[in-house]
Amino acid sequence: MAGLRVSGPRSWDLVRKLAPFLPQELKSHQAYVGFIKNLEQNENLDQVIVLPFLEGHSFTGEESAEIFCHGSPILVDRIMTELIAAGASVAEKGEFTLRSFLNGKVDLVQAESVLELIHSESDFSARQALNQLRGKLSRKIERLESDLIWCLAHIEAGIDFSEADIAVAEEAVLKAKLKSIEDQIQEVADSFAGGRVVKEGLRIVISGQPNVGKSSLLNALAEEEKAIVSSRPGTTRDPVEVRCLVGGISAAVVDTAGLRETSDEIEAQGIAKSQKARASADINVFVVDAALLLGGPDGSLRLNSEDLELLAQSQNAPVLLVLNKIDLRPDLALLSEAQVLEKVKKNMSISEDRLIRVLCISALDTTSGTKFRGALEKFLQRFDLQGDGVLTNSRHHEQIMGALLSLREALKMLAGNQGLEFVSIELKQSLMALQNLLGKRFDDDVLDRVFKEFCLGK
């Protein structure tokens, strides 16, 4: 199935030109089934369903009609062509949403969510965009907005009605409340890291010594031959990127050039690029040749010095240590991965929270791709990906950071016993940022709350 939407004044008349089966009097939200014809009316194009929407009751807020036809791209193209011939023009990307926003059918956050929905690449971000659309983020921020207005109402009432017989919140109460708002805004802001991952995808960088099987691992994951695999060290000169889905999240898995000293200039450039790729990694998949692992006297395992050095150089991203060619080490095959992790860790000066998992694998094994994917999915639990009001948009992030900074400034002022008329400026600034985020106008909300909350007057 494919859907086409015609929106704007006289949409119904326009569609009727191609759908003569439609009655003169159309009902909104009612499905009509019939054959769509070309303009000359001499050829049936497809049997379709037409859904008309009355002005004010459609997604865009305009009179509109949706046509559902069979899903062949060629068919869709022909119907589009006929619609254009009948007077329609092709919508710009996101134009329906823009109209919907301009007609007040969706708010700014919702509109941006729809745009993200259109652009999202994977299920997970589609779900997340849907969450925002339903206003999960909006509701969360509206709650914070309301709390902030409460604080401002108490501050302003204390200033403008200091003579009135009213109990405004004491500074300690205000401080506690503001602190809690700060924490919650911080939480929303923190979700941005996870949110970015969802929207732009995860960056997984595979690194390690030459010829340890990095490309084989990537291929296993992508289940297609993206990188040239050969047994000559240094085959991968440029980072090779494969986009795939990991646990419903779109990921860019980057295979980097083997890390080694080289005199080959082209290869050296490749290595420089690879270093850059590693710097932006969310996950560093560090591959070593299991056959080259050294045994310690206490039964521990030790990476060779070159590996250790390389690992130390790479950036702060958490590390998934892959022991490839495990088939060459039957002694390790008997151990659980947790046991291997213990044994490896002993001889490494890597911080606890960076080395998260070990994966023992044979990249040439047919199950290696599945195993690798499984390890990565477990890795993702590091990120807040619950989709619960996660910030995904940089405009949102900017506003939320603005709200946070002003709020912190206000708290600092309160701590320094500075006047509430100054604190109020920062809080209003913070409130304005939240309201911008919601696409709301900064208005008399504070005074309205003052009148609601307090008994004033002569």
Partner 1 sequence: MASFDFDIIVVGAGHAGIEACLATSGLGLRTLMVTSNLQRIGYMSCNPSIGGLGKGHMVRELDVLGGFMGFVADKTCIQFKRLNSRKGPAVRGSRTQNDKELYSQTMQQRLQSQPHLSLKGGEVKKLILEGSICRGVVLDDGSEIRSARVIITAGTFLNGVMHMGLEQTPGGRVGDKAAVGLSDQLKEFGFEVRRLKTGTPARLVKESIDWDKTIPQYGDEKQYPFSLRSEPRFSLPQVPCFLSRTTAETHEIIRKNLHLSPMYCGVIEGTGPRYCPSIEDKIVRFGDREGHQTFLEPESLSTNLIYLQGISTSLPKDVQDQFLKTIPGLENVEVARYGYAVEYDFIEPTQIWHRLETRPVQNLFLAGQINGTSGYEEAAAQGFVAGINAAHSFLGREEFVLGRDEAYIGVLIDDLVTKGTREPYRMFTSRAEHRLILREDNALDRLSEISLRLGLLDSKLVEKLADVRFRRNELAERLRTQRLTPSSENAAIIAEMGTPPLTRSVTYEEFLRRTEIESSQLQKLGFAMDEDPLISEPVEIEVKYSGYVRRQMEIIEQIKKYEEQRIPDWLDYGRVKGLSNEEIEKLRRVKPRTLGQAGRISGVNPSAVQALMIFLKTNVKRQEAASESMGQSPR
Q: Which residues bind partner 1 (CB under 8 A)?
A: 99, 101-104, 107-108, 156, 159-163, 165, 419-422, 424-425, 428-429, 439-441, 443, 446-447, 450-451, 455-458
* Minimum distance of partner 1 from residue 140's CB (angstroms): 20
* Minimum distance of partner 1 from residue 435's CB (angstroms): 9
* Minimum distance of partner 1 from residue 67's CB (angstroms): 24
* Minimum distance of partner 1 from residue 130's CB (angstroms): 22
Closer to partner 1 by CB, 72 or 418: give it: 418
Closer to partner 1 by CB, 162 or 305: give it: 162
Closer to partner 1 by CB, 73 or 104: give it: 104
Q: What are the CA-CA distances from residue 305 to residues 145, 149, 323, 393 (Å)?
A: 55, 59, 16, 43
* Minimum distance of partner 1 from residue 11's CB (angstroms): 16
Closer to partner 1 by CB, 242 or 450: give it: 450
Q: What is the largest CA-CA distance in the chain?
A: 91
Closer to partner 1 by CB, 26 or 114: give it: 114
Closer to partner 1 by CB, 359 or 450: give it: 450
* Minimum distance of partner 1 from residue 23's CB (angstroms): 29
* Minimum distance of partner 1 from residue 84's CB (angstroms): 21
Closer to partner 1 by CB, 347 or 429: give it: 429
Closer to partner 1 by CB, 289 or 445: give it: 445
* Minimum distance of partner 1 from residue 106's CB (angstroms): 9
The alpha carbon of residue 357 and the mean position of all alpha carbons in its chain are separated, in whole angstroms, by 24
